[in-house]
Amino acid sequence: MDIQLLSAFVTVAREGNLTRAAERLFVTQPALSLQIKKLQTGLELTLFERTPRGMRLTEAGQRLLPVAERALGGVAEFRAAAAGLKDTISGRLRLGTIVDPEFLRLGAFLSALAERHPTLSFELTHGMSGTVTRLVEQGELDVAYTLGPPGFPDLTGRFHVVELTDFSYRVVAPPGWAGQVRGKGWRELAALPWIETPPDSVHHRLLSSVFAAEGVRPHVVARVDLEPSMLDLVRSGVALALARDSLALRAAHAEGVVIADSVSVEAELGLVCRADRRTEAPIKAAMAAIESVWRG
């Protein structure tokens, strides 16, 4: 069925007048009359009858009008959908995640991406900041969350980073250790038992920088690679550890963990991609979506 003929039929039916319908369709009246004749011939039906006041639908025309209107609406919907697909990004986004999803606003981020680009799929890899950032550099991940010092000076040049939020790490100690940590500086705290994390962990990188600046080494008694395990050892009375301020305060209120009150380490959360890949469509979409989630 010729869509132009359907449009001519619906327009004449709505206007009830060939002259007005021709004006709306930007065609001449003879051309419009020819279209209506062609449609009626093809259907082998009479759709209109002429009256002194214009064009009136026959019974067949009345029955076919709503069907024709739905057909034209479907064509309009099809064209709109096709136009939308021009901006749709397909393929796969390989995303590196760290710590807990709530802190990352991971659910909101993936929801925003799915809404904007329904044909884009996701593949998530969880690890430590150093690990997933290295996978981004090697091209095995497209983007990754990362933690580091404010401004991410160690990533400058090689990476593009969307900075998301600042926060602090606090030193947490077992219940009952208030006298050993309150009012103490880094040098005094270094002599106490510490829980260490692997080199790829931001805890390790930040603490190494702090203690190196003080010219001391921490007394390490354990090494773990998960924040929940670190806090569990702290609660059990084993040693000190770093914890995000929100986690430290929660543990202090709920379980009596002690927070050292004279020291803290500033840090930042970001989403990182390789600088030379930032204009690739899936990566660009991810950066735009994360901005919308964190900036509103």
From first to last of its 296 residues, the chain has per-residue pLDDT tens of 788 999 999 999 999 999 999 998 889 999 999 999 999 999 999 999 999 888 999 999 999 999 999 998 898 888 777 666 666 688 899 999 999 999 999 999 999 999 888 889 999 999 999 999 999 999 999 999 999 999 999 998 899 999 999 999 999 999 999 999 999 999 999 999 999 999 999 999 999 999 999 999 999 999 998 888 899 999 999 999 999 999 999 999 999 999 999 999 999 999 999 999 999 989 999 999 999 999 87
- Spatial distance between the Cα atoms of 218 and 196, rounded to a whole number of angstroms: 9
User: Token pair of 266, please?
Assistant: 């500033």
> What per-residue confidence (pLDDT) applies to 98?
96
Going along the chain, which residue ranges are E strands?
48-51, 54-57, 91-97, 120-126, 143-148, 159-173, 193-196, 219-223, 241-244, 258-259, 265-274
Nearest CA to 141 among 208, 94, 202, 88? 94
Grouping H, G, I as helix, E, B as strand and the rest as coil, residue 199 is coil
User: Token pair of 33, please?
Assistant: 């009359």
The CA-CA-CA angle for residues 139, 111, 284, to 5°, reads 40
C-alpha dihedral sign at 106, 110, 115, 116: positive
Percentage helix, strand, coil, to 5, in the chain?
Answer: 50, 25, 25
- Spatial distance between the Cα atoms of 255 and 42, rounded to a whole number of angstroms: 83
Confidence (pTM):
0.71
Q: What residues does 145 pair with on adjacent strands? A: 271
Contact 174, 201 (CB under 8 A): no
> What per-residue confidence (pLDDT) applies to 296?
72
Q: Where are the alpha helices (DSSP H) in 215-280?
A: 227-235, 245-255
Nearest CA to 238 among 193, 187, 287? 193
- Spatial distance between the Cα atoms of 282 and 86, rounded to a whole number of angstroms: 14
User: Token pair of 203, please?
Assistant: 């805890």
Going along 64-114, which residue ranges are E strands?
91-97
> What per-residue confidence (pLDDT) applies to 227?
82
